[in-house]
Amino acid sequence: MKIIKTALHYWIAIVSVLSFLVGWGMLAHSLKPVQASSQTSTQNTVSLPALPPIQAFGGLTGNNSGSGLNLSVPNNPPPVSVFPRLRSGGS
């Protein structure tokens, strides 16, 4: 009788672990609710507005690229000052 009980315990333990692993695998490969809501949200987005890139940055030409916007690029860089170097790059 004791042997049967012990075997039953082992059997339940093994089946439990296997069931958990199978469930885990299914959950890991299933489509997550987040992805579903993400798809829904894109349906409500507005169309891409035309935002002109600041093309003058690339070649330092000072001319715009037909966007109708003027960007003044100095011929001489401003003099170097003694005040601290301030940088912004995301916090």
Interface contacts to another protein, rule CB under 8 A: 24, 27-28, 32-34, 37-38, 41, 45-49, 51-54, 57-58, 60, 69-74, 77-78, 81-91
Between 1 and 79, name the residue whose CB sits nearer to another protein.
Answer: 79
Going 8 to 13 to 17 to 20, the CA torsion angle's sign is positive
Between 4 and 44, name the residue whose CB sits nearer to another protein.
Answer: 44
Residue 52 C-beta: closest distance to another protein, Å: 8
CB 58 within 8 A of CB 65: no
Between 2 and 49, name the residue whose CB sits nearer to another protein.
Answer: 49
Between 66 and 70, name the residue whose CB sits nearer to another protein.
Answer: 70
> Is 2 in a helix, a strand, or coil?
helix
Residue 25 C-beta: closest distance to another protein, Å: 12
The alpha carbon of 52 is separated from its chain's Cα centroid by a whole number of angstroms, namely: 24
Torsion of CA 39, 40, 46, 47, to 10 degrees: 40
